[in-house]
Structure 1
Amino acid sequence: MEICEHKIAVAWNGLPAYGAHLVKAARIRLGYDFPVVGTRPDVPIEGMEHILGGGLYWVEENCRHSWAELGLEVPRLFVHTGWRYPHFVSLADEVRAAGGKVVGMFDNSWKGNVRQWVGAVYFRLFLRHKFSAAWVPGLSGRKLARRIGVHSQRIHEGLYGANPNVFQCKVPICERPKKILFVGRLIDRKGIVELLSAFEVLRTEHPDWQLEVIGNGPHAELLQGREGVNVKPFCQPDRIAIAMNEARVLALPSHEEHWGLVVHEAALCGCALLLTQAVGAGADLVRSQNGICVAKTSVEQLKQGLEHVYAWAPEQWTQASELSVDLAQDFGPVRWADEMSEFVRKFLKVE
């Protein structure tokens, strides 16, 4: 596939390391290093330029920019993270004015609350015409895109995905200790307090199970000194992958979670999954054979979820691990490159 330079550009707010790997896969597939515009992530990642191998342009948040300021020609196809960031909206405006196509990355999921219904009306009236396609993580994002008025044929899935070179199933699940793993910020929204309470309720009856927590946040002190609970500060992806291969279950009991990349990371590592229905990735990565999505973040619901997996026989654990890995194959760099190739075929008429 031969593409002239400056026909494609991607912009990502808070460009994460996994995003750089996704972009790199698309660059390799398409055969040229299209430019990437990004704002820096909250947690600095060393070597971002090394991952991409050049063509990375950092910009300041909340400041309007032009392609000329970046020293770039206006692309014919621009893929960027949504409509809320003025530093990318101005670039998208230039692309449309020049007759180009804009693809929006939308990572939220449909909740059906008043704010989203109002937002859906606003999007249909003022924003829908600005996007030629919507790129969403999975099924929950597709539902959102349809609700706000995007035609089903213009919705593409596979927006997010972990790096499979880092996250791999290396230890058979039945050889791992009986351990529940939580990875994320230690804040109310993530449901860590409810998870801790549910775990402790079952501790007497199931003393062979442990809870490992990796993350930073205001609830870190609450977790310290608890029997059967091990707390570690946030660490880099390679260390998280090791922790996932030392756990049987990844728990993400969030009150709200757009998709949850950590779920895909854990699935690649062969973990069973315990989520709430608020976690968008559950629709794509959880089936009855490899985990459970409880209705809400409550101690009682999470207790029932833990009891469900605690009762599994060895063959059920093996089946769960194999299914998690299998479902995880639908997301990641290969899928991302596939979707970018489809945008090029559809909007640039390049086969």
Structure 2
Amino acid sequence: MGNGSELKSELPQVAILFSQFAAYHVDRVEAAARRLAGRAEVLAVEYATTSAAYAWEPAEGIEHARHITLFPGKSYDEVGHLARYRAAMKAVSNADMVCIGVPYSERDIIALSWRLKAAGTRCVMMTESKFDDFPRSLPREQAKSRLLSVYRAAIVGGLRQREYLRFLGFGSKPILPGYDTVGIDRIRSQDGAEAARWEERDFLFVGRFVEKKNLRVLLQGYARYRELAGGAARKLVLAGDGELAGELRELACDGVEFTGFLRAEEVSQRLNRALALCLVSTEEQWGLVVNEAAAFGVPAIVSTAVGSRDALVRSGVTGYVVEPQSIEGVARAMLALSQSQPAWQRYSDATAERAQMGDTERFADAVEALFDPDSEGATRAVEFWEEMATT
């Protein structure tokens, strides 16, 4: 563990804890640190440099927060629960508020959250889980409710995440939006080229080729779209890789392009040339790529399961919301977005206007609101809830 985490700052400390930093984690901790500058020191704490689940590049660009890597050069998965608990407790022991973005079911996180409560530290849960992610068991949910009783507040993605926490017994505890956000300025800066012309734009999927992404239905919906659109049909670009790659290549019809895994900059370049983002998952807690697409004014076709639709997608305005198993629904949404340039431009303009709802300034609002309930950030957080519920 490095960076002198055991030294007590003269300012109050706010710790933000993740298992591993990707670029969007850096976006969030930097936004919070800039917002609290002069009022609190933000500790950006990550357990490890890598993990088995995500091939993210090591974090860089943390300038306003104090960056602490508990196990530099190691994978999160190879560090035991006890070692993780001890290192995290040491790193955040002087913090006045600890925001935890590691799954609350991990044994070391359970121990850490209860220890922090005993020490009088304000413990904040950060989550994107919602009730409709998968079938729920009442005994399990009751047990989960008891585990989460130690948290004094939460930062969540959107409306369904808030309702799930209320179901789990959060009651009158503060629940604020803004967890699932990205640095819109950073995303835009990754593509220096001009946006593509209308005629050059195609449908785009970005993500892992795994079951929950529902890519078989997407391919079937695209095939049906080609029947409807005829010679005017656009391409469908699948950017990513995963266990289903071979099967999907066999299922794909004409007009489907596979790019393989893309770096972050390449994803931004593809998004800036897209007609619409397609994310029709059967399970999707949020889907940050929808935030990234909005940064470029790219409408989205998303399923009802996608959490980000609560904030960023309004059917018929900034894209379309479809049932995850509706092949015809996917096809008709594609057709609606591809037939008229003036109509598409209206979708694009509305999407760009809404992009700020997926920016990390919303995360900074939430952290500031918990640090200072009388702040402007607290007012904006309430307004964010109202925007999601009414617009």
Residue 209 of structure 2 aligns with which residue?
186
**Take 1:68 and 1:182, find their aligned partners in 2: how far apart are those partners?**
36
Q: Relative to structure 1, is the Cα distance of residues 98 and 153 closer, same or farther in structure 2, using a 3 angstrom cutoff?
A: closer
Between 57-66 and 140-149, the greater mean CA deviation after superposition:
57-66
Distance 1:176 1:141, change over 3 A: farther
Determine if contact 2:152/2:173 at 8 Å carries over to the other structure. Answer: no
Q: 2:246 aligns with which of 205, 211, 221?
A: 221
- What is the rounded CA distance, in whole Å, between the counterparts of 1:222 and 1:38 in structure 2? 35
Change (3 A) 1:251 1:68: closer
Distance 1:137 1:237 in 2: 22
Q: Distance in 1 between matches of 2:114 and 2:87?
A: 11
- Mean CA deviation greater in 62-71 or 150-159: 62-71
**Aligned equivalents of 2:135 and 2:299: distance in 1?**
34
Q: What number of residue pairs does the alignment pair up?
A: 344
1:27-38 paired onto structure 2 within 5 Å: 27-31=33-37, 32-38=41-47
1:98 matched to 2:119: yes
Q: CA, structure 1 residues 281+47, in 2 after alignment: closer, same or farther (shift >3 Å)?
A: same
- Residue aligning to 2:25: 19
Change in Cα spacing, 1:318 to 1:78, as seen in structure 2 (3 Å) is same
Give the counterpart letter for 1:218 in structure 2: E
How many Å separate the matches in 2 of 1:45 and 1:218? 18
The TM-score normalised by the length of structure 2 is 0.79
Q: What is the identity, as a one-letter code, of the residue corresponding to 1:213?
A: L
- The residue that corresponds to 1:147 in the other structure is 167
Superposition deviation, residue 319 in structure 1? 1.3
Alignment of 1:289-328 (within 5 A): 289-311=317-339, 313-328=340-355
Distance in 2 (alpha carbons) for counterparts of 1:22 and 1:10? 9
- Conserved 8 A contact 1:6-1:73: no
Residues 212-221 or 248-257, more deviating: 212-221
Per the TM alignment, residue 7 of structure 1 is displaced from its structure 2 partner at its CA by: 2.7
Cα–Cα, structure 1 residues 322 and 235, in superposed 2: closer, same or farther, change >3 Å? same
Going by fraction, where is helix more abundant, 1 or 2? 2
1:63 pairs with one of 68, 81, 92: 81
8 Å contact 1:156–1:339 — kept in the other structure?
yes
Matches within 5 A, 1:238-253: 238-253=265-280
Check the 8 A contact 1:269/1:325 in 2, yes or no.
yes
User: Cα–Cα, structure 1 residues 161 and 196, in superposed 2: closer, same or farther, change >3 Å?
Assistant: same
Per the alignment, in what secondary structure is the counterpart of residue 357 of structure 2?
A: coil
2 CA distance for matches of 1:274 and 1:324?
A: 12
Structure 1 distance, partners of 2:29, 2:199, is: 34
Q: Which residue of 2 aligns with 1:284?
A: 311
1:267 corresponds to 2:294: yes
Q: What do residues 133-180 of structure 1 show as CA deviations (whole Å, max 9, x unaligned)?
A: 121111221121222222255111110112212323975576352411
Q: Secondary structure at the match of 2:15?
A: strand
User: What SS does the aligned partner of 1:206 have?
Assistant: helix
**Of 83, 86, 99, which residue of structure 2 is paired with 1:79?**
99
Equivalent residue, structure 1, for 2:182: 162
* CA deviations over 1:13-50 (Å, ceiling 9, x no partner): 34322111210121122123424133434334334144
Q: CA deviation at 1:292?
A: 0.8
Corresponding residue SS for 1:250: strand
Q: Bigger shift: 75-84 or 275-284?
A: 75-84
Secondary structure of 1:167's counterpart equals helix
In the alignment, structure 1 segments of 5+ residues that lack a partner are: none
Between stretches 327-336 and 164-173, larger displacement belongs to 164-173
2:285 pairs with 1:258: yes
Q: 1:219 to 1:193 in 2, by over 3 A?
A: same
SS at match of 1:83: coil
> Percent identity among equivalent residues?
24
CA contact (8 A) 1:10 1:36 kept: yes
- The answer as to 2:344 corresponding to 1:338 is no
Over the aligned positions, Cα root-mean-square deviation in angstroms equals 2.7
